[in-house]
């Protein structure tokens, strides 16, 4: 029968089983730690992205307002201006 990676299941010697379990636990702990660090970095990036998105929305709205004011000063209606 094949394992999760498609490898054939190889019988483990009785003496090596305890060592392998300890190695697997240490390996899983290291992977878990790395995943926690990656998760923290992704959370931080998501916060920065949300902040930048909000700032860009504010800038876009400000630019729209400024464009409308200029159009009104020039006597144009918003539909007359070409984009």
Give the pLDDT confidence of 31-75 residue by residue, as tens digits. 999 999 999 999 999 999 999 999 999 999 999 999 999 999 998
* Cβ contacts of 61-69, under 8 Å, gap ≥ 24: none
**Where does the pLDDT of residue 8 fall: very low under 50, low under 70, confident under 90, or very high at 90 and above?**
low
Cα-based distances in Å from 1 to 5, 16, 41, 69: 11, 21, 39, 74
């Amino acid at each position: 029968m094949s394992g999760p990676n498609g490898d054939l299941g190889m019988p483990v010697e009785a003496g090596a089983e305890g060592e392998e379990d300890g190695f697997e636990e240490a390996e899983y702990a290291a992977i878990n730690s790395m995943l926690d660090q990656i998760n923290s970095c992704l959370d931080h990036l998501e916060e920065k992205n949300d902040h930048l998105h909000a700032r860009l929305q504010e800038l876009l709205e400000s630019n729209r307002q400024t464009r409308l004011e200029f159009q009104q000063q020039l006597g144009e209606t918003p539909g007359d201006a070409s984009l």
